Amino acid sequence: MNSSGQTVHVDLGSRSYDISIDAGNLPLIAELSRSWLGRSPDQPLRCFVVTDTNVLQPHANAVKMALSGAGAEVRVVCVKAGEVSKSLTEASDLYDELVDFRADRKTAVLAVGGGVVGDLAGFIAATYARGLPFVQIPTTLLAMVDSSVGGKTGVNHPKGKNLIGAFYQPAGVLIDTDTMATLPDREYRSGLAEVIKYGVIQDSDFFSYLEENISGLNERDPAVLRQVVSRCCELKAQVVKEDEHETTGVRAILNYGHTYAHAFEALSGYGALLHGEAVSIGMVCGSRLARSLGRIGDGEIQRQVELLQAVQLPVEVPEELLTKHDDILSCMLLDKKTVFGDLKFVLPDRIGHVDTIGGIDSKMIVDCLADSS
């Protein structure tokens, strides 16, 4: 590992853990896992690695080699890539594998992949034998800056996404930004929407840094990536520290752009919009809503639009959704974060700060789908 690696500490009392971030630190997985799990080099290490079909070859195999080379006993289980694997059926198959591997409470579960693998592996780690130690090795930008930090694990139910799950913090997170080299362009850009979100909700200096480093972002410059991933992890860690179990309302700020985005994702048909693409459009709609309420002016919207467009994210609601006002409102009302029919929106009052606002007129909400400036 080169000396510029960074560690972000997630401060959660007895559930605290470190996120180790660098380019090329994957080979350190055995050493780091031992330290996170409190195992000395002469103690046995058994690892159950969950990955998916796109991540197995380049990255999960490298993790396996590093672990085996350090004397660990390793089983790699590969699930089909995609959201379909976040299911109770898949979880059940993994429990069978854990039984077959004779896993006990000393066996560590390692997730090597994007948010799907992280959420699924975290869920089985949380539930098998009432909890196995868990290590995250996120390989998508979204997983690095969002899903691997904060302890939300779970699977989908046919009636709802992430409906079955548990808060379960990992023992540690290893982020090797080099793993993003194989990430498809659209997936990478989709992750950038969440990155930009952190700037708007929490950190105007970080937003300016992104504006000043557009070519580094587009070219996946290693130094820029390390800086970006580290700052996002710090920002998310702050929120999680204040509201680990989503009870105080602080964690809700992470939903900026998401009330609109969830409706766009649900209505645009499977796969038409990636999550981050929907969030990008959702943030623009949310900003227009903030403007309608007199919270921000045109300038704050323009800065977001320009940054999102500079990294080639969509900013306008797809034509076919523009007039679906009733469908969009009913989707928003069905969202599990809606409380008793009162839609709440996370809205900026400047770049770097947001509040949660309820009681907004429905017409105003749908009027913000189209650009009226």
Ligand X SMILES: NC(=O)c1ccc[n+]([C@@H]2O[C@H](COP(=O)([O-])OP(=O)(O)OC[C@H]3O[C@@H](n4cnc5c(N)ncnc54)[C@H](O)[C@@H]3O)[C@@H](O)[C@H]2O)c1
Tally the C-alpha atoms within 13 A of residue 333's C-alpha that lie toward its C-beta. Answer: 13
Binding mask 139-158 for ligand X (x = CB under 6 A): xx-xx--xx--x-x------
Helix or strand holding residue 61 (H, E): helix 61-69
Long-range contacts of range 4-9, CB-CB < 8 Å, 24 or more positions apart?
4/223, 4/226, 6/226, 6/230, 8/230, 8/233, 8/234, 8/237, 9/237
51 binds ligand X (CB under 6 A): no
Residue nearest to ligand X (CB): 115
Instruction: Label residues 8-40 b or e (16+ Cβ within 10 Å = b).
Output: bebeeeeeebbbbbbbebbebbbebbbebbebe
Catalytic residue among 83, 211, 246, 316: 246
Give yes or no for a contact between 86 and 111, defined as CB atoms under 8 angstroms apart: no
Q: How far is the CB of 322 from ligand X (least distance, A)?
A: 26
Between 163 and 370, whose beta carbon lies closer to ligand X?
A: 163
Residue ranges with strand state E in the chain: 6-10, 17-22, 46-52, 73-79, 108-113, 134-138, 152-157, 160-167, 172-176, 345-350, 353-357
List residues bridging with 18 in a β-sheet.
9, 172
177 binds ligand X (CB under 6 A): no
169 binds ligand X (CB under 6 A): no
Q: How far is the CB of 36 from ligand X (least distance, A)?
A: 19
Q: How far is the CB of 308 from ligand X (least distance, A)?
A: 17
Q: How far is the CB of 41 from ligand X (least distance, A)?
A: 29
Per CB under 6 A, the list member of 55, 77, 228, 273 interacting with ligand X is 55
Instruction: For residue 245, indicate whether it is catalytic.
Output: no
Between 145 and 365, whose beta carbon lies closer to ligand X?
A: 145
Count of residues in contact with ligand X, rule CB under 6 A: 28
Query: DSSP letters of 143-199?
Result: IIIIITSS-EEEEEETTEEEEEEEE---SEEEEEGGGGGGS-HHHHHHHHHHHHHHH
81 binds ligand X (CB under 6 A): yes
262 binds ligand X (CB under 6 A): no
Per CB under 6 A, the list member of 18, 31, 83, 367 interacting with ligand X is 83
Per CB under 6 A, the list member of 2, 16, 68, 182 interacting with ligand X is 182
115 binds ligand X (CB under 6 A): yes
Catalytic residues: 130, 152, 194, 236, 246, 251, 255, 258, 262, 275
Instruction: Summarize as ranges the residues that interact with ligand X (CB under 6 A).
Output: 52, 54-55, 59, 81-83, 86, 113-117, 119, 139-140, 142-143, 146-147, 150, 152, 162, 179-180, 182-183, 187
